[in-house]
Structure 1
Amino acid sequence: KFVYGLPERHRDALRDARYVSGVGCNATVTNLGLAPLADAGLLESVVTEVKVGSSEGGGRPSQSSHHPERSGSIRSFKPTGHRHQAEIQQALGDDFALHFSVTAVEMVRGALATSHCFLKEKPAERDLWKLYRAAYKNEPFIRLVKSRTGIHRYPDPKLLAGTNFCDIGFEVDPHSNRVVVISAIDNLMKGAAGSAVQAMNLMCGFDERAGLEFPGLHPV
């Protein structure tokens, strides 16, 4: 029996697992951003767009990943029907409508999910911060971004290159029941190898942070 390899969702099961399935990067950045709202039953519907770098395409060259074609391009990759949508709904449940798109942008590594969350009731910002803090207060690789000023007041995948962190922030729309949740990861780390190592650490009884506390490549 395989356990889904996202420790923030299945930590206890991973400790006893013999087999683990690797996570999808688009699913991971979306799942971590939406999980507190989904678990609280607040979501009515969600429209998520994930912007991804070229390394998400894997190691096999293709016309779309060739530098002359990729450079300077912002390309709709999967406006509908992306396979990671099923992975998200499996992790978070199907109690809300999910509309999911992926866009390829000119960067090598990184994934940024912008999720327009329409809630069942108009939210209070302070209550949402309490919800997210309660959900992630003991998570070693989740960082909540709460800044009113500066160019990094929202999560930015550039800052996460080489790390196993997921940065999450949000903004409440004062005119509606909408909350825009913004989450970012390095797709090669938290979205792939990093989560795999974290899951392996749990399976083997190691400190789950072992080998994963590199602070990142930025500003290199």
Structure 2
Amino acid sequence: MNKNIPHLSESLNGQSKRLRTRAVLIEASVELFATMGYAETTLEAVAQKANLHVQTLYRYFPNKELLAVAPEQDNLDSFKVALGEKHPNQTFTSFWREWAEKSANHTQTHYREMHLQRSRSLQTPSVLSQAHMLANEYLNLMETGIADELRLDPKTSDYPRLFAAMLWEGTYRAHNKWVGDQGRSDVVELVTKIIDDVCRLMQLWKSAKLLASGKETHTSRVTVV
């Protein structure tokens, strides 16, 4: 019998408990940010709502800004895992469309009212700064994925970053439009439409690139002859 098994079980149980505690804190903060607003919500209030000591909260979230963007951080972590499991034959743009559609549908179906209120309450410089750093992480991953899809070197070509920025900004603007009209529109439709528009632009760019390459080859052959 492996004597390390009890220790492994204890380790897994401890990890599971930490994940549950973190989830409880995030859930409490989401509700308070939505109902009380970011400025009026204290970490002590979050800990109290989660039935935990505030020192426990500080072990997970050293400041309110990190707690405020915790759902987005979790989404980014899930995105990294899903991206690592993406089928090699699936294009990145197809993967991003599926991911964005799934995320938008989940938000609209399960957290509509809470998400709308929370989004409006977190428009403060310190929180937006944290959100900007997360956005850059997304953009770096997206740039790499699109560069691979287009067979370009991101070190020498600006196009992967450009298309990544268009996809990210388009998704972000669709979400903001949904928040701005009080959730009356269909966020899934808004998100997928703008992603499809960007994908069409990418296809036009690829077609133009192939056409230009063909013309260059033809000109080169004529010159040689």
Using the size of structure 2 for normalisation, the TM-score is: 0.22
Q: Considering only CA atoms, is the larger Rg found in Structure 1 or Structure 2?
A: 2
Q: Which has the higher helix share?
A: 2
**Which of structures 1 and 2 has the larger relative contact order (alpha carbons within 8 angstroms, sep 6+)?**
1
